[in-house]
Structure 1
């Protein structure tokens, strides 16, 4: 671990936190937390930006090894600082097409995170895993933490895959061979009372039905318009497991548990929102085991104001715990 950090010029050090905030998986801290060696290391945002630009390739290599990096106690105070932080690493923004959660643009390429009610858990998922086009990396930034709760949980996808293979080998075999489809009814306009209330206009960044259908078809998604203006969408067959090209490991890369637990509102029935490509629905007992496995593998990060979390969206699932407001965590999605 020290060899990785030493490549960054001695300007940062690792931070150790107790479980469940940080765990050790395969001999590595999860997540990896980096902090300035002293408060004089980075005096302002420009000095931080310069360091990020000089070390961007090294940081990206470290991310591939650890899956998650948390930058703590850096001079990142506002959304515009966060936007500059990510852009210093030379990432390009991912257009938020296909996601279920309502989001609001803040500044630059910064968006709000899932705006579902604070008393609702956002279950584990890979960002936009229900689409063939998903962000490579995602960033979160804590402007201010919740009064209580509101942790962002992260889980290593390969570890989840390995444990599920041990516990439910037949299901994992079916998942790998058959893949899954996701069904969701999108409202006509955003429904901010629903955790999956993103309307078809904002889901496909479209103003007309024709434009929305065209973008959906590009993703292999079928459309069925409903009398009230909502639309039933069914995705193409999506992988439940993906291979990481950097190391050949299998990743539990999907949004199965999120769809099964959270695709619920006046339009959607969660138990029928995700199924194997042969039409087989998820078994409740298997979903319970998946829930337990994810929680067992996860680290639950308590946010601190100014934290920036960098996630490899292929290697790591994330979730949001319930919270007592106020809480403001922002997001940046990368191509």
Structure 2
């Protein structure tokens, strides 16, 4: 079966950007209502994996809307139908999550009134997922949008507006500092305890696992300072032949336990970031992003090397978005 017989691409259903290449961002696919049978998303994905891979490569983001996906189990079936290998969200992740079923986790469990800044998933780690799935199980009344932005566009605009900073970032790299407590803090977007982060309560084992992730631990009385890096401030997307904004300049790790937030993100030589860079970059994100207002049953597929994502504060409860990560 061809993709045209199962999917219908829609323009204008949600806010979208038309890229320089003439591709919509994100691409929005709905069931082909001309068919007499109900189109199941799992069936449609299995029948058109190569076409969907090509579409994701060109756009970076695909939203599936209007399909019969109503539960975490249904969502897990959708993820499995993609053929992408599972990436287990385990050691090293910053956000608090709970495994729901199969390959499905809760999205970041930070309090709904907090914003989660733009980021590539696990960009601070040496190994990170290449594809991300999100699913709206309970749509929000208002607020709580997931915002997405093309990372290469952010890089190009930052390079044009702040060429000296970008050059220095590329030459030196960045160091991130986190402070983790012994117990997880559910009131923070990056509130995992060191025990949960490294999946152990043994400090020696934690140090070994941190070292494998390029992290150094400095133990304190009731917490640990985690030094990450130096890490490049960008990556080169080999598949698309372009640089991408692969860093935590915006947001960084705003740990409540960090006694010096200015050191959350620094150049690798220890010099601080320019005071205005984070806010300047945030402005560009806000100008370039697409804010997705979730509908129940939505499934969003992102290329983690092409697209950054964030979460706006939720105004009206409830909201439940689930996530899955792929190699």
Residue of structure 2 aligned with 1:81, choices 74, 80, 92:
74
Following superposition, the deviation at residue 143 of structure 1 comes to 0.4
Which of 149, 154, 171 is the aligned partner of 1:177? 171
Off by >3 Å, runs of 4+ in structure 1 = 39-42, 266-270
The answer on 1:307 being equivalent to 2:301 is: no
Q: What's the CA shift string for 1:35-83, capped at 9, x where partnerless? A: 0121856626xx4323222212221121111000001111111001111
* SS of equivalent residue, structure 2 residue 149: strand
Q: Distance in 2 between matches of 1:295 and 1:9?
A: 34
Q: Does 280-289 or 211-220 show the bigger shift? A: 280-289
Alpha-carbon distance in 2 for matches of 1:35, 1:233: 44
Q: Is 1:69 aligned to residue 96 of structure 2?
A: no
2:122 and 2:129 in contact (8 A); partners too: yes
Give the corresponding residue for 2:26: 31
Matches within 5 A, 1:253-264: 253-259=246-252, 263-264=254-255
Aligned to 1:3: none
In 2, Cα distance between equivalents of 1:115 and 1:268 = 24
Task: Report the equivalent of 2:233.
Answer: 240
2:309 is aligned, of 314, 318, 324, to 318
Query: Hey, what's the Cα distance between the residues in 1 that align with 2:276 and 2:116?
Result: 20
Question: Which moved further from structure 2: 91-100 or 142-151?
Answer: 91-100
**Shift in Å, 1:121:** 0.7
Indicate the SS of the match to 2:178: strand
2:122 corresponds, among 128, 131, 134, to 128
Match of 2:283 in 1: 292
C-alpha deviations, 1:196-223, integer Å up to 9, x for none? Answer: 1101122122242222211111011001
Contact in 1 for aligned 2:7/2:44 (Cα 8 Å): no
Question: For this pair of structures, how many residues does the alignment match?
Answer: 324
Q: Secondary structure at the match of 1:181?
A: strand
Give the secondary structure class of the aligned counterpart of 1:290. helix
- When the two structures are superposed, what TM-score results if normalisation uses the length of structure 2? 0.94
User: 5+ unaligned residues in a row in structure 1: which ranges?
Assistant: 1-5
Q: Secondary structure of the residue that 2:283 maps to in structure 1? A: helix
Runs (5+) with no aligned partner, structure 2: none
CA distance in structure 1 between the aligned counterparts of 2:37 and 2:249, rounded to whole angstroms: 41
Q: CA RMSD in A?
A: 1.8
Conserved in 1, the CA contact under 8 Å of 2:120 and 2:247? yes
Q: Report deviation, 1:269.
A: 4.1
**1:263 Cα deviation from its structure 2 partner:** 0.9
SS at 1:170 equivalent: helix
Separation in 2 of the partners of 1:240 and 1:297? 20
Which residue of the other structure, out of 271, 275, 278, is the alignment partner of 1:280? Answer: 271
The residue correspondences of 1:38-187 to structure 2 (distance < 5 A) are 38=33, 43=38, 47-96=40-89, 97-187=91-181
* Structure 1 residues 242 and 7, CA gap change in structure 2 (3 angstroms): farther
CA gap of 1:172–1:7, structure 2 versus 1, over 3 A, is farther
Q: Is the 8 A contact 1:221 1:234 kept in 2?
A: yes
Structure 1 contact 36–42 (Cα < 8 Å) conserved: no
Offset, 1:268: 5.4
| CA distance in 2 between partners of 1:42 and 1:137 (Å) | 30
> What is the aligned counterpart of 1:328 among 301, 304, 320?
320
TM-aligned CA distance change 1:243 to 1:297, over 3 Å = same
Distance 1:52 1:12 in 2: 9
In structure 1, distance between residues paired with 2:123 and 2:166: 17
Cα contact 2:178–2:255 (8 A) shared by 1: no
